[in-house]
Structure 1
């Protein structure tokens, strides 16, 4: 018996991708480029191979941060920052990821491989990229190990969760006039580029001072925040706009289907619960210098959080493509709950933690959490890919399909004339 029940597998053949992209930049600038760019790829290359290539570039960017700034992961004092030229490679790498992520669907249609597997694979890679870019962007913005970085993680994951939640209830992926996969990524590319020219300290300058608005009298009542913190505030307004827009779309879809329009809001609670567990763990009273946010365990903690989130939204997408109930609980949270409760025993029971009694023990526990989170997500991906490919008779990384005799054959790609007809 596989991971996906048989009755749910049968719904895979009914699935068809639907998407709406209202971005002006995407329509008039990027899409013509993507349409040309996909023609450079041979039809023998599977769409998921393109997606995985993009994620590999992001991982390379992440490893360059670790290589050129090892203090970020080894010393409590924090990071010194990589050489400025590295930020240009991050900008190029993220733009390459965006481009490859955009053309995998076009390649799927070119090769006749469009389907639920591509949807699952694409969203899984996007989910992992989200946390990695939070860490890289926070480094470029000179936020370092701080609650601003945590706020950035929450806001970014929340936007991703909202999009997935919206797609589950409306049946289509909706990207508005300003979305994370388009404008959001381009803003981060711009941040990397600016940091490459001026260095991370550029973002510590005051917003009103840099924009020369400090001479306006009524603005004196507002705090003159640094550029990096101002960017976080701007992101908070963007998240509020996305929440409202997503709910309007869900409300419209549920009303059209004759379903309750308030009940879907309850399905936002799983994200609130998951994020609250992580915040509670980070909010631990410092005992023997064991506070995560002030130590070298901060980055692996964020990575573990990101993998748990990827598992959560992966199950949401699986529920979408198989038309099954929305997942409300994820058992991997139990591990983080143990960490949060143990870290807060001084507040809860007035006694020292049992596990995280020192910085060394905290580090071991956080890396163990990272390992378990990785194994759980890797198991989920492996089992789901295996079930879908076996049921649909397709390959994940090659353009092949099983014939009526169960023999693997390279898929016959229709010619341009056949597609037009």
Structure 2
């Protein structure tokens, strides 16, 4: 077994999903809609197929960006992006993704397909959507190829990593009063809608100027007049800080209640910090200040390669969680970032030009090679893990089927209740 050792497979049968959702919007507004919406799906549709459909919709949004803006020309201060109507399709697609991501668990309960495979599949699609959502949202905010977009990538991945890290150490998925899957996605949907009406340059307006607060003496002298998009980034930073504190407090209480050391889990945040530093170092091109990766068409492939590597990392954490294995610290995917970072900083480290990334053309070629390797490696991971889980548990991935004691495939849909019997 490449990713799940034979001795760890037994943990798959002991896994039980646990979740806490404290979001007001989720519990009192969206959940009634989700409960109704799932009834529109036939019981022969597999939960993982619903999850995959949601990801396909976001990929379609990304495809429209690639079609209308193939070089990602939306630089700060002058977007040359898609027509305004496309942003409305992004809003609809992101909302549909959120809806399908919410009902796949409900469909799993309807069809009797609850289990670790759904957990892995759901988190894997969410991890991929994280980077795609960042690219689309920063395009709509007219941040384009900039360090603000990189900061948004770091913050969004950090939130997802924290959630996965927290679930591993507490045994349950915790969504607070403000979470990325609920309020965060709805904020992005709102951004897409506003951009559809007003255009990307709307977000460049100074907040105090737009609100007329620059005419108030005390405010204008104490509050910097910055763009709305920058204000949004600052707000996201505060949300990240809040989530860091909340996640650790949840882990702290869970570990203290079980009599286990409460400091050790913090050490498992270091691999993510190291990966961020590696990618930031790679973006630094001391010998090629203009153009570098951020100012070139290699920027989006770089972000996608980073996202695939991240999805691989959190996928292994989820596998460790559902099979009760030790927390994975090292991931071979880091090697790609290490090579890119060291090569880009050869002038600083060894006082010589890069061996690979000597020119803008070579940088672009190298980034695309890393993107291809990241995709192939992650795809291999997904195929092998799905194969291990389905073979061991005797279930299908994209159809509602299970193998019976004789090895014959049967429908996993619970039978209809007989007269006088309640179906639980």
Aligned residues: 420
Larger CA deviation: 26-35 vs 286-295:
286-295
Q: Give the TM-score normalised by the residue count of structure 2.
A: 0.96
Preserved CA contact (<8 Å) 2:74 2:145: no
Q: Distance in 1 between matches of 2:2 and 2:302?
A: 31
Structure 1 counterpart of 2:279: 278
User: Cα distance, 1:287 vs. partner?
Assistant: 2.3
User: Cα distance, 1:239 vs. partner?
Assistant: 0.3
The correspondence of residues 369-380 of structure 1 with structure 2, limited to 5 A, is 369-380=370-381
- 1:61 matches 2:61: yes
User: Cα distance, 1:71 vs. partner?
Assistant: 3.1
Q: Distance in 2 between matches of 1:228 and 1:180?
A: 18
Preserved CA contact (<8 Å) 2:165 2:317: yes
Preserved CA contact (<8 Å) 1:4 1:387: yes
Q: Distance in 2 between matches of 1:198 and 1:312?
A: 38
Q: Distance in 2 between matches of 1:296 and 1:54?
A: 27
Q: Distance in 2 between matches of 1:105 and 1:193?
A: 28
- 1:28 matches 2:20: no
Preserved CA contact (<8 Å) 1:289 1:358: no
- 1:227 matches 2:240: no
Structure 2 counterpart of 1:109: 109
User: Cα distance, 1:39 vs. partner?
Assistant: 0.2
Shift in alpha-carbon separation, 1:290–1:217, aligned structure 2, 3 A: closer
User: Cα distance, 1:216 vs. partner?
Assistant: 3.2
Q: Distance in 1 between matches of 2:384 and 2:422?
A: 33
Q: Distance in 1 between matches of 2:345 and 2:142?
A: 29
Preserved CA contact (<8 Å) 1:290 1:356: no
Q: Distance in 2 between matches of 1:419 and 1:154?
A: 49
Q: Distance in 1 between matches of 2:289 and 2:48?
A: 46
Structure 2 counterpart of 1:89: 89
Q: Distance in 2 between matches of 1:299 and 1:363?
A: 11
Structure 1 counterpart of 2:140: 140
Larger CA deviation: 291-300 vs 340-349:
340-349
User: Cα distance, 1:419 vs. partner?
Assistant: 5.7
Q: Distance in 2 between matches of 1:269 and 1:111?
A: 39
Q: For residues 150-196 of structure 1, what are the alpha-carbon distances to aligned partners after superposition, in whole Å with 9 as ceiling and x for unaligned? A: 00000000000000000000000000000000000000000000000
Q: Distance in 1 between matches of 2:131 and 2:56?
A: 14
Q: Distance in 2 between matches of 1:261 and 1:234?
A: 29
Give the root-mean-square deviation of aligned CA atoms. 1.7
Q: For residues 313-352 of structure 1, what are the alpha-carbon distances to aligned partners after superposition, in whole Å with 9 as ceiling and x for unaligned? A: 0000001000000011111111111111111111112211
The correspondence of residues 6-45 of structure 1 with structure 2, limited to 5 A, is 6-45=6-45
Q: Distance in 2 between matches of 1:140 and 1:4?
A: 40
User: Cα distance, 1:74 vs. partner?
Assistant: 12
Q: Distance in 1 between matches of 2:368 and 2:207?
A: 38
Q: Give the TM-score normalised by the residue count of structure 1.
A: 0.97
Q: Distance in 2 between matches of 1:73 and 1:318?
A: 38
User: Cα distance, 1:291 vs. partner?
Assistant: 1.1
Shift in alpha-carbon separation, 1:27–1:271, aligned structure 2, 3 A: same
Larger CA deviation: 289-298 vs 375-384:
289-298
Larger CA deviation: 319-328 vs 345-354:
345-354
Preserved CA contact (<8 Å) 2:74 2:139: no
User: Cα distance, 1:78 vs. partner?
Assistant: 8.8
5+ residue gaps, structure 1, are none
5+ residue gaps, structure 2, are none
**Secondary structure of the corresponding residue to residue 292 of structure 1:** coil
Preserved CA contact (<8 Å) 2:127 2:310: yes
Q: Distance in 2 between matches of 1:187 and 1:74?
A: 21
The correspondence of residues 176-255 of structure 1 with structure 2, limited to 5 A, is 176-219=176-219, 220-255=221-256
Preserved CA contact (<8 Å) 2:46 2:108: yes
Structure 1 counterpart of 2:341: 340
**Secondary structure of the corresponding residue to residue 225 of structure 2:** coil
Shift in alpha-carbon separation, 1:288–1:156, aligned structure 2, 3 A: closer
- Provide runs of 4+ in structure 1 moved above 6 Å: none
Shift in alpha-carbon separation, 1:419–1:131, aligned structure 2, 3 A: farther
Structure 1 counterpart of 2:294: 293
**Secondary structure of the corresponding residue to residue 62 of structure 2:** helix
Q: Distance in 2 between matches of 1:2 and 1:353?
A: 35
User: Cα distance, 1:217 vs. partner?
Assistant: 3.0
**Secondary structure of the corresponding residue to residue 20 of structure 1:** strand
